[in-house]
Structure 1
Amino acid sequence: MTSAVDVTVSREAGDWAEDADWLAERAALAALGATYDDADGPAELSVVLADDALVHRLNREYRGKDKPTNVLSFALTEAEEPDPEEGVPVMLGDVILAYETVAREASEQGKAFADHMTHLVMHGVLHLLGYDHESDDEAEEMEALETRLLATLGIADPYAANHQPPDQ
């Protein structure tokens, strides 16, 4: 795991379990450990545990989609930005999860809530780091990475039975 990135988890809304903070941090650090180069310097990101109402509002305001979704990622850096000042953390962005949608999807897909949540946090963090699934090739690359990272945590391939990327 990477030590150069500080992950902050906050609870804004939703009926999240006690271990949700730990699960979110573990998932974010697992994704970062495989994709973020410590040589790039310190960085920060946040994971926000929210509910459908908050995510619905954000999805409508920032993406023009008038519905809740499972996870939103708001990257705060772009590849074209100049290198940050040495020692000053780069703000990678925010990953925001909607409790009711995550719980419903886990139930519908027959997955443990913790496993589905872990997958969605990883998915969101990978978006912050530039991964996407707009093309088939990008989707294959991102899904393969997610599957490999989840396996290191003992979580089954989330795409094995339901080949759909998380809503973004």
Structure 2
Amino acid sequence: MAISVCVIGAMAAEPIGEDQWERWFAIWATQMAIDQSIAPCTELTLKFTDDVEMTVLNRTYRQQDRPTDVLAFAALEADIPLIEDSEPVYLGDIVIAVPTAARQAADQNHALARELAWLASHGFLHLLGWDHPDECQLQAMLSQQETLLGLITHDLDIFPPAVLL
């Protein structure tokens, strides 16, 4: 499964590099291709930002005047098409507020890398059409996120717990 990930603001999300993100999304896309028809070549943007910009985005698109941890903007409204030619399908954008992610990681005593991966997997599922309007669908989505994180656990175990400065 080929996936191209354009990472914006990567310095805010250290120590995870762009190559690492691309590898993780490729693993996740391969896993999800088992359950869904995903085009063999896809692209997405992963943006790391601060709470100020995230508040603006959350206010603009969700009418909530506060920061949130992750937002996803799917490029496709329908199911992801299975396309036979070599043109990549643009899935959309995932935006993560690093300060919020750092607070959540510290609160849960795990590495910032784990929290960022958790949020990225959540955004990725939204780009694939998953949603959680009710408790049942939320639990299904969280379970799928656990599955996706389980595929990269060996990578995440090298990162220390988050510490807020």
Give the structure-2-normalised TM-score: 0.79
Q: Does 1:30 align with 2:27?
A: yes
Letter matched to residue 110 of structure 2: K
- State the aligned residue count: 152
2:13 to 8, 11, 16: 16
Aligned match for 2:5, one of 7, 15, 23: 7
Distance 1:117 1:73 in 2: 14
2: CA distance, partners of 1:30 / 1:39: 13
For residues 92 and 81 of structure 1, what CA distance do their matches in structure 2 show? 8
- How far 1:136 sits from its partner (Å)? 2.3
**Which runs of 5 or more residues in structure 1 are unaligned?**
156-168
> In the alignment, residue 131 of structure 1 is paired with which amino acid?
W
Mean alpha-carbon deviation: is it higher for 88-97 or for 136-145?
136-145
Partners of 2:133 and 2:94 in 1: CA distance: 19
Percent sequence identity is 33
Superposition pairs for residues 26-65 of structure 1, below 5 Å? Answer: 26-36=23-33, 40-65=39-64
Q: Is the 8 A contact 1:49 1:99 kept in 2?
A: yes
Q: Which of the two has greater helix per residue?
A: 2
Cα separation, 2, equivalents of 1:104 and 1:24: 21
Equivalent position of 2:158 in the other structure? none
Task: Say if 1:33 and 1:85 are closer, same or farther in 2 by CA, change over 3 A.
Answer: closer
Letter in 1 for 2:134: S
